[in-house]
Every structure is written in structure tokens, then in C-alpha cells.
Amino acid sequence: MSQHYAITMPQLSDTMTEGVVVTWEKQPGDKVERGDIVATVETDKAIMDVEVFKAGYLAGPLADVGATIAVGAALGYITDTAGDVAIAAGEVVEEQAQTEMIPHHAGTPVVMPQLSDTMTEGVVVTWEKQPGDAIRRGDIVATVETDKAIMDVEVFQEGFLSGPIADVGSVVEVGHPMAFIVDDAAKANDTGVTISAEHKVKDIHKVAPHAADKPATIPVPKAAPAQVAAAGNQPPVARVPGRPASPYARKVAAQLGVNIAGLAGSGPAGVIVAADVARARPSMQEVAHSLPQVDVPGQGRNMTSMEKAVSHAMTASLTLPTFNVTVNIDTSKLTAAAKANKVSVTVAIAKACSVAMAKFPRMNWAYQPVDKLVERANHDFGVAVMSNDGGLVVPILHGIEKKPLAALQGDWTGLVERARVRKLAPAEYSNPTFTISNMGMLGVSHFTAIPTPGISAILAIAANGPQGTPFTITGDHRVLNGADVALYLATLKQTIEAPENWISGEASGARSEAANAPATHGAPAVSPIPEGNWDFPVVVVGGGPGGEDCARDLADHGIKVLMVNNEPFPGGECLWRGCIPSKAWRAAADVIRNRAHDAEMGVDGTNTPKLNWAQVEKHRRWVQTSRGEMALKADKGMKIDVREGYGEFVDAHTLKITPVEGEPYQVTFGAAVIATGAPAFVPPIPGARENLASGGVVTSDTIWNLAAPPKKLGIVGGGVIGVEMAQIFRDFGTEVLMLERHERILAEIEEEIGKVLIASLEKEITVVTSAAINEVSGKPGAMKLRYANKEGIESTFDCDVVLMATGKRPDTSRLNLDKIGVALDGAAIKVDARCQTSAPHIYAVGDVIGGYMLAHTAATQGRVAADNLLGHASEYDQDRDCGVTFSRPQAGFVGLSVAQAKAKGIDAVEAKMPMSIDAKAMITGETEGMIKLVADKASGRIIGVHYLADHTDTLIGIGVMMVAGEMTLTQVAKAIFPHPTQTELFGELARRLLNRLRRTAKK
Ligand SMILES: Cc1cc2nc3c(=O)[nH]c(=O)nc-3n(C[C@H](O)[C@H](O)[C@H](O)COP(=O)(O)OP(=O)(O)OC[C@H]3O[C@@H](n4cnc5c(N)ncnc54)[C@H](O)[C@@H]3O)c2cc1C
């Protein structure tokens, strides 16, 4: 059934009640993309463009040009059906299409950035540039006050600043324009509307009168509907008779846990739409505003954004049922130890809280509506600091559980400096997991602090008295009970009063390697392997990189481990069907490809290399079997009980093993680790699955059986595996056609790197994107791939074989996970950062848990699971993970891209350097590509490195160490790199980025 969305006349100011349609920029039936301008309207202030954020087709009936349309009424419609130019009277309109209004011909808007999760609006504090000023990428044009701090607004577009610009002091909603950038100084102006408080749609929350006979009315703000995106595959909630709701609204309701029976609908004919559901989970601001308000005499002034944010959070804290527990602690030894170790007492107390919390992880959890608990292992503690203007700012010390004191002190020094002048980046103050407020220095004898939604406990430290220093925790009773807090405080008391047990060497991070590894904090190790008379304390199911690394770490620590793998040798997909064989082929292909440069460098006669397929295969198999035998020998040498067979769970502590020969048998275990990987997934394209058996269609599991490189190869899927295979076979002389159903291949690669690589790839092979693959047919050697391109034109590609490179998907259907209480998230096993599943004694690692499906990721997670089973809290941190695409040139990533960092609220900056200016690359003729360095602007830490370069597989090691070691731009800028090597680029990049930051830094 078609879905229609109304484009409505928005309310652009408090005074606006209607608008006049000036032009239609699109006609009924035209395709509309997100961000297209479909019409212009005249409001009581200016002519504005109507920009829509819903893809589809414009459909009538459209409001006539010149017609006056009331705010909220439809101007026209967007439908998802091509050719549907007018929707019929009475047809159901699902939702409003999201729209944005921008002054007509004003230029590219500079919008109010969302600088934290909670930020909904910002106040313009200063304009650093004036209309008419030239703007360069990275310039700071204004500063704005958010609900937490004063922040710079940086633009990444060249041009000239132009009005209308928001007045200093005006409140602008997130996403709304503050000013514009035009491409010509002559076009810059400061006329027209003033984008100020008038342009912001003010919330008008009121308390809804309760009527017993009607569902409670949720106050509907005048603002644009709350933007909600339903994620995941959760099925929509069931329809409720008498409460019509759009399918999307029911999906959002499932995601947010909202009961739609109690909602009023604001859609056509009272239909409940997604925005109604979103409003049922109000923000702190909405909660604060919807509480009954007591009138107060006098002339009030408007609160600043920060005052408002505190007021909203404090009112929202009334939704937490709290209680207080106090113990007195002698802090003298900790104070002395902090001094001896050259760290502040604040940092030492935060670390002590973390050490004690390792035993009481619940203190770090939070209540999430409705009836959910967020179980967090990351100790990111907010610590209250007085800012220079007397307000309270709460910067966050991140990763306390895994950082040594010295590193924490380094973090803290920078945080305090920035907190005092309210210059914190959003990630530095958003989402603490626990909070500490120390008023000891102010001489208070006792006080309590208020936890707000998002944490379950806050610690208030008063001044030292005759009985010691009062430490009071206010806890959320939905997450914690009195005993939890009492026991935690008792442990905290021990930890603080005997710092010598955990603090020695912490400060310098100079604990011995043995003491440091694998523990990530100073808490005594308590293994969570359940006690019992088990055949094996731990069984590991699957012997790929994830299972094998886990089993090895456990065996290394004296744990008796059984590893069952349904293949004769360990190594999994990586060794037998993945990384190793594909790179053996790539190595041969590299030799062929590299010869192309020989003549350039003055060596003739090498450019007609000939492929000896039999030898390629012999070499590949030799590498595989040698490594398989080595692995098995090492596993057995480490006393892992390696068994060949298929494992499936019988109950929470019993595994059934079906060997290749002989009868199935059972073993009992205390804890288990599931590392069963993810096989290649073939979508149900007609003929794709049906031709697997004949070998006419192959996957990454079966391509290794090819008797010779095909003359013509059809590849369905433009991900990393498809691209690697395409270039390997191209180098072997194969003609390759690649079909991708999405708009872009290599969607997982950083955008700019991806674009350059795709352009390079398209010179070698034919790539058809937005392709519909209609059928695969034929027999090996004579296959037909029938597909249609973006325009719908059908073609057929005749080839020898079709490779379905359409992704991998975990298959846990035969593991009996329901018998052991292990939950799934889609096809993958759901785990937390410790790789623990919903059954506390079962862990899962590697491809079977989704995320990055890479061998080193699986191995890392295997070691994380082992650490946790050994009682040492340890987490997998995707933000420091890395990967190489073995294309030519090779693409690679470490950590975060700028876009990923910004999505996490990190104010990130990048610098890039093309390989074409590197001396060594020029010498070897390997000048294609670039290297990018991404840094956190606030701390100067390197948080990402991105590559497109020959030898990325080696150069990436430097990026890995920079990101893992949390190195700063200054450290890398000062490091000495040898000349002439491609490593010099890293020093240059760091120096360039530092200089840029210095230039744009505000005095
Ligand atoms: C063509 C290709 C190229 C690749 N290249 C790279 C690369 O260059 N770099 C990289 O990092 N990654 C690469 N990968 C990905 C890499 O192979 C995987 O991410 C990695 O092998 C995952 O490890 P794992 O331990 O999770 O699972 P797997 O390696 O899949 O191991 C799982 C093992 O468990 C066994 N098993 C499954 N179910 C059971 C059961 N019930 N009982 C007993 N045993 C069971 C399986 O047979 C298998 O041996 C590539 C993959 C492909 C297909």
C-alpha cells in the first residue's frame, strides 16, 4: 500500500498563523530527495524555501500559487509511489514530512550545531566574523552558549558570511540557521529577517487536564514533531482497537516501550503518529515544564541556557526515588599517597571509587524507561568543578577503570582548565556513569547531592571532621538498594584507608607488565566462572581467531579449557576461507600489478608476467596447512583440550559434541564462550542459492574450489570482500562486472577515502550501482547474470562464474541458545562491552556478535572474554579498532573518522596529506591516495587515522599505536621519523594540524 506524507505550512514565528505559496519548485510526480527545495512560501517576515527531508515523489493536490495556507495545513504531499501524482480524497496520510524553512536565496545556512545529546537550542554569544567577511574552511564564525558551556561554531565551507544573522543573545534551535555563507562577496547582505528568538518555535507545554473517560492527553508542543528514528528490527507493537496508529508510530512505540493505548493522536483523523509516541518519553525539559508550577511574584529575568539546563535536570530528578547512606572515611593515607604520586586528591578519590566499584558494578548502572537497566562497565565519572563565574560544571574523567593514575591526572588537568572557563567539548561533559561532588574545601560538615536521570548514584564528600570525612551516596532506589550502597561504601572505605594495596606504581603506570596484564584496574580478581564439579571450567565453541585466542589466554592462566571446532584444524574462516587464502592470491596479484611500475623506474622486460595458477594454489595451500598445523600444535602444547566436532547446548551447563566419527557425547562446563563465526550470506535472488551446488555461483566459502581463474566474473556485492576479489581477478586477467544494489560501493569505508578508491577501481572494472539483480542462471562456465541499472534498463552479463559477495550473517539456529538464555540482536548474539551475553556465565566473541567482522577484532574480543572470565574487568573498545581493505591502493582505518567522532559529540578535526607529495612514494611510483589524521580538538589526542596508500598494511601499525597509546598531536609532531620513508607523513600531518588549531584558537 502506498504511503503518503503531508508537507505542512510550518509556524516560523510566534506571530505567524498562515503563509502564502509563492512558487512550486517541483511538479507533481517529480522525484524528491532529502534536502530538496520543493516550494517557496511568504511568511509574515520573509520569503522562505521549503526544504523537505523525506524522499519520494511530489503528489497533489498542491496548494495553488498565491493561496494562503494556515499553519499546520498541508501544502502538498510526498508519496512513495512513482506515478502517483495526486492522492485521492480520504486516503490515509501517515505523518508529516519533515521540513525546514530557509530564507530564499540566502546561501548555505550556518546552523546551530547540536553540541550535546541534551542540547535543543543555543544562545548566540558573539559573532567572530561579520557579514561580508571572507570565510575559510575551519574558521570559527561565532560562539554559542549551550546548556553546558560556551562553544565555538566552526564552518567548513568557503565563501562570505551573509545575513540574515541571528542577533547576539538570541536563542536558536538546533538545526536552525544562524547565518549564511554565500559564494560572492557582492551577494553578502545583512538585510531581511533577523533570525532571532522570533524564529525559534517556543515550546508551550501545559499540564493536560485529566479526563477520566478519555486517554490522557499528552501536551503537543507547537514545535516540529520530535524527530525519532526507529532502529533495529523490533516488531511494531500490536494495534489497539479504537486507537489508530501509523505503522511507524507502532514501531517507535516498540522501541521506546510506550503503551499507545494511553496516547492521543495528532495525525489526520486522530491517528497516532511517531511524534506522539516520542513525546510520551519526554525530555528533562518537557518533564520540568509539565510539572505543576507555582506562581511567584516579581519580575523574573530569563534564565541562561545553563541555568535552564540545571533547572530542568534538577526537576527531572524528581522522577528518581532516592535514599541516602553515609559513612565516615579517614582520607589521610590517600591524601598522602596522592601527594607522593603527584596526583590530585580528586583524581585519587575517583580512582578509589572505580577500584571499589569493580566489585559493585551496579553502582555504575542506570535506570532507563521503561523498566530497563543500562549495565555499564565503563567508569566515566563526572566530577563537579566550580567555574570562574561561580557556576558548577561537571567534566567527566573517562575510562577510569582502565587508565593509570598518571594518565588520569593528565586528563584531569586539562579538563579542570577548560571547565573553569566553560570551554568543555560535549563529550567531556555528556553522559557520566557516576558523579562525585566534593565540598570538603568549603567546610560543609554534611550534605547530599541530587542524582539526575542517567546515573543511579552521586557521591557527596563533606569536610573532614572528628570522625573522618563524611562520604554520602544518594542512590536511585530502582537500581540500587540500601545494602548495595552500604556494601559499596564499606569497600570504598577500605580502599581509601589502605591505598597501598592498589595505588603503588599506579601513578606512573609503571606497574610490572605481569601486574598490569591483563588486569585493567587494581581490584582483586574474582573469577565469575561458577564453582561446581564441571568436566571443564570453560568450554569454547569454535576454533577461529576469536575462540582460539580466548582458549589460549585461559589455558595460559591455568584454566582447564575444552575448545570444540567442527574442522580438523583451528584457524576458522580466517585461515581456511578468508584472510590468509585471499591475501595469498593478493600477493600473486601484487607481483603482476607492481611490474607495471618497473619501466617507469627504468627496468624493461618485466611487464609481461605470466600467472602459474597451479603454483599460486600450491603456495596458498602450503601457507594454510603449515599455519593450521602450527596452530594445532601450539594449542595442544598449551594444554587446550582441542576436539573436532559440532557443539550445541543441551542446558545451561551441558554441551553436546557430535564428532565427525563416532557417537555424540556430552560434557559439563562452568562457563562457555561462543565463537562460531558468521558464514557467507546469500540473499534470495532467483537462482543465486539454487546454483551454489553446481559451483556456477560461489561465495567466499567456496571460491577456493575454482579450477582456474575465470575469464569473466560477475560479482554481486560491492563490500570489502567483493572489491578485494574484483581486483585480484582483474590482475589475473579476468573481466569483472560488479553489481551493487546500494548507491555506493564500499559503504563501510571513510567517505573521502572510499570515493577516491572507487574512482580508481572504476578504471579497472565495470561497477553498476543501484542495480536490481533479477536472476542468476546457467551452469558453471556459462552463467548469466540478469540485472537492471538505476534507470531500470535490463542487461545480461555472460560469465563463467558468479561470486555472491553479499555479506556474512551469524547462524546460531543449531546452538539451542534458547535453552541457555542467550538473547540475540537480529542474527547476532547480543553482548555487552565485556562480551558477556544475557546469560552471565556465557560469553560470545567474533563474527557471531556482529560489528566489525574482522579476525583481529575476534581475537581481541576472545582475549577480553578470557580476561573477564579470569576476573579482570576488560572491555572491547570499537573506537580503537582498525582494519585494512587489501585493495590497491590499500584502504585502512584506525579509530574514528571525523564524522564518527562528531556523531559521538567529540569536536574532531582532521588534516590530510596526499601520497603524491611524499618523497618515498614518488620514488617508488606509489603516489595514489592519502593519509588523514583525526584529533580531538579539546585534548589534542589522536583518535583516528585513515589511509589510502600502498603499504597501508604496514603503515597502519603507526596509527594503531598512536590511537591505542592516546598520543597527542604534540607528541607525534615532536617524534623523529626517518627520511625518506612514508612514515614522515605522520609527523608532518601532526604539525600541520597543530598549526591550524593554533591559528584558529581563540585568545
Ligand atoms: C574472503 C575473506 C577475506 C577476509 N579477509 C580478512 C582480512 O584480511 N582481515 C581480517 O581481519 N579479516 C578478514 N576476514 C574476516 C575474518 O575471516 C573473520 O572476521 C574471522 O575469521 C572471524 O573469526 P571468528 O573466530 O569470529 O569466526 P571464524 O573464523 O568463522 O571461526 C569460527 C569457527 O567455529 C566453527 N564452528 C561454527 N559453529 C560451530 C559449532 N557449533 N561447533 C563447533 N565449531 C563450530 C567454524 O567451523 C569455524 O572454524 C575475511 C573474510 C573473508 C570471507
Cβ of 189: how many Cβ atoms within 10 Å?
Answer: 15
The model's pTM is 0.58
Ligand 1 pocket, residue 566 CB under 6 Å: yes
CA-closest residue to ligand 1 atom 26? 846
Minimal CA–CA distance to 393: which of 630, 147, 137, 685? 147
Atom index in ligand 1 nearest the CA of residue 564 equals: 43
Atom index in ligand 1 nearest the CA of residue 542 equals: 34
**By the 8 A CB rule, do 955 and 890 touch?**
no
Residue 625 to residue 607: CA distance in whole angstroms: 32
Distance 677 CA to ligand 1 centre (A): 5
CA distances from 922 to 603, 816, 919, 990 (A): 16, 57, 5, 21
Percent of the chain with pLDDT over 90: 55
- Tell me whether strands 469-476 and 159-162 are parallel, antiparallel or unpaired: unpaired
Angle at alpha carbon of residue 233, lines to 228 and 234, rounded to 5°: 75
What cell does 310 get? Answer: 540545571
Ligand 1 pocket, residue 564 CB under 6 Å: yes
**By the 8 A CB rule, do 280 and 218 touch?**
yes
- Reported as a single tens digit per residue, the pLDDT across 462-514 is 998 889 999 999 999 999 999 999 999 999 999 999 998 888 644 434 334 44
Residue 511 to residue 532: CA distance in whole angstroms: 34
Among 541, 552, 574, the mutation site with the greatest number of ligand 1 atoms within 8 A of its Cβ is 574
Ligand 1 pocket, residue 677 CB under 6 Å: yes
Among 854, 885, 953, the mutation site with the greatest number of ligand 1 atoms within 8 A of its Cβ is 854
What cell does 124 get? Answer: 548566540
Distance 679 CA to ligand 1 centre (A): 8
Torsion of CA 755, 912, 415, 373, to 10 degrees: 20
Q: Is 433 exposed, middle or buried (0-12, 13-18, 19+ CB in 10 A)?
A: buried
Angle at alpha carbon of residue 359, lines to 353 and 363, rounded to 5°: 60
Atom index in ligand 1 nearest the CA of residue 856 equals: 11
Minimal CA–CA distance to 918: which of 1000, 821, 844, 989? 989
Atom index in ligand 1 nearest the CA of residue 848 equals: 26
**By the 8 A CB rule, do 550 and 675 touch?**
yes
Q: How many helices (H) and strands (E) does the chain have?
A: 21, 50
Ligand 1 pocket, residue 11 CB under 6 Å: no
For residue 28, cis peptide bond before it (omega within 30 degrees of 0):
no
Atom index in ligand 1 nearest the CA of residue 854 equals: 19
Bridge partners for 795 per DSSP:
787
Q: What is the DSSP string of 374-420?
A: E------EEE-EE-TTS-EE--EE--TTTS-HHHHHHHHHHHHHHHH
Distance 814 CA to ligand 1 centre (A): 17
Distance 464 CA to ligand 1 centre (A): 57
Ligand 1 pocket, residue 143 CB under 6 Å: no
Among 541, 552, 579, the mutation site with the greatest number of ligand 1 atoms within 8 A of its Cβ is 579
Atom index in ligand 1 nearest the CA of residue 573 equals: 29
Distance 719 CA to ligand 1 centre (A): 17
Ligand 1 pocket, residue 541 CB under 6 Å: yes
Ligand 1 pocket, residue 7 CB under 6 Å: no
CA-closest residue to ligand 1 atom 34? 542
Distance 600 CA to ligand 1 centre (A): 40
Strand segments, DSSP code E, in 14-113 are 18-24, 31-32, 37-42, 47-52, 56-59, 68-70, 74-79, 93-96, 99-103, 108-111
Distance 860 CA to ligand 1 centre (A): 14
CA-closest residue to ligand 1 atom 41? 647
Residue 530 to residue 671: CA distance in whole angstroms: 7
Ligand 1 pocket, residue 847 CB under 6 Å: yes
Distance 435 CA to ligand 1 centre (A): 41
Cell 506515478 -> residue:
83
Catalytic residue positions, numbered: 979
Cell 527545495 -> residue:
37
Helix, strand, or coil (residue 123): strand
Distance 555 CA to ligand 1 centre (A): 21
Among 635, 676, 888, the mutation site with the greatest number of ligand 1 atoms within 8 A of its Cβ is 676
**By the 8 A CB rule, do 269 and 242 touch?**
no
CA-closest residue to ligand 1 atom 53? 578
Q: Is 388 exposed, middle or buried (0-12, 13-18, 19+ CB in 10 A)?
A: exposed
Contacts of 105 (CB under 8 A, 6+ apart): none
Give helix 855-869 / helix 545-556 axis angle, nearest 10°. 30
Atom index in ligand 1 nearest the CA of residue 847 equals: 26
**By the 8 A CB rule, do 537 and 560 touch?**
yes
Ligand 1 pocket, residue 571 CB under 6 Å: no
Distance 764 CA to ligand 1 centre (A): 29
Ligand 1 pocket, residue 953 CB under 6 Å: no
Among 553, 564, 573, the mutation site with the greatest number of ligand 1 atoms within 8 A of its Cβ is 573
**By the 8 A CB rule, do 203 and 289 touch?**
yes
Helix, strand, or coil (residue 60): strand
Cell 503518503 -> residue:
4
- Tell me whether strands 121-127 and 150-155 are parallel, antiparallel or unpaired: unpaired
State how far Cα 457 lies from the chain centre: 26
Ligand 1 pocket, residue 856 CB under 6 Å: yes
Atom index in ligand 1 nearest the CA of residue 648 equals: 41
The confidence score (pLDDT) of residue 419 equals 85
Distance 572 CA to ligand 1 centre (A): 5
What cell does 21 get? Answer: 505559496
State how far Cα 329 lies from the chain centre: 40
Distance 848 CA to ligand 1 centre (A): 9
Atom index in ligand 1 nearest the CA of residue 678 equals: 30
Give helix 952-964 / helix 984-1000 axis angle, nearest 10°. 50
Residue 825 to residue 851: CA distance in whole angstroms: 11
Atom index in ligand 1 nearest the CA of residue 546 equals: 25
Ligand 1 pocket, residue 744 CB under 6 Å: no
The confidence score (pLDDT) of residue 12 equals 65
Ligand 1 pocket, residue 48 CB under 6 Å: no
Distance 544 CA to ligand 1 centre (A): 6
- Reported as a single tens digit per residue, the pLDDT across 828-875 is 999 999 999 999 999 999 999 999 999 999 999 999 999 999 988 899
The confidence score (pLDDT) of residue 728 equals 98
Residue 1003 to residue 1000: CA distance in whole angstroms: 9
Angle at alpha carbon of residue 80, lines to 79 and 85, rounded to 5°: 45
Residue 655 to residue 667: CA distance in whole angstroms: 5
What cell does 475 get? Answer: 542512590
Q: Which residues of the chain have pLDDT under 70?
A: 1, 12-15, 44-46, 100-106, 116-117, 147-149, 189-235, 247-248, 255, 267-269, 283, 305, 504-526, 1001-1003
Ligand 1 pocket, residue 646 CB under 6 Å: yes
Minimal CA–CA distance to 705: which of 612, 810, 611, 620? 620
Ligand 1 pocket, residue 853 CB under 6 Å: yes
Minimal CA–CA distance to 370: which of 259, 458, 474? 259
**By the 8 A CB rule, do 61 and 86 touch?**
yes
Distance 570 CA to ligand 1 centre (A): 10
Residue 903 to residue 922: CA distance in whole angstroms: 36
Ligand 1 pocket, residue 754 CB under 6 Å: no
The confidence score (pLDDT) of residue 174 equals 75
Percent of the chain with pLDDT over 70: 89
Ligand 1 pocket, residue 545 CB under 6 Å: yes
Distance 565 CA to ligand 1 centre (A): 12
- Reported as a single tens digit per residue, the pLDDT across 941-988 is 999 999 999 999 999 999 999 999 999 999 999 999 999 999 999 999
Ligand 1 pocket, residue 572 CB under 6 Å: yes
Cell 562528531 -> residue:
902
Ligand 1 pocket, residue 717 CB under 6 Å: no
Ligand 1 pocket, residue 570 CB under 6 Å: no
**By the 8 A CB rule, do 895 and 943 touch?**
yes
Ligand 1 pocket, residue 582 CB under 6 Å: yes
Give helix 720-731 / helix 751-761 axis angle, nearest 10°. 30
CA-closest residue to ligand 1 atom 30? 677
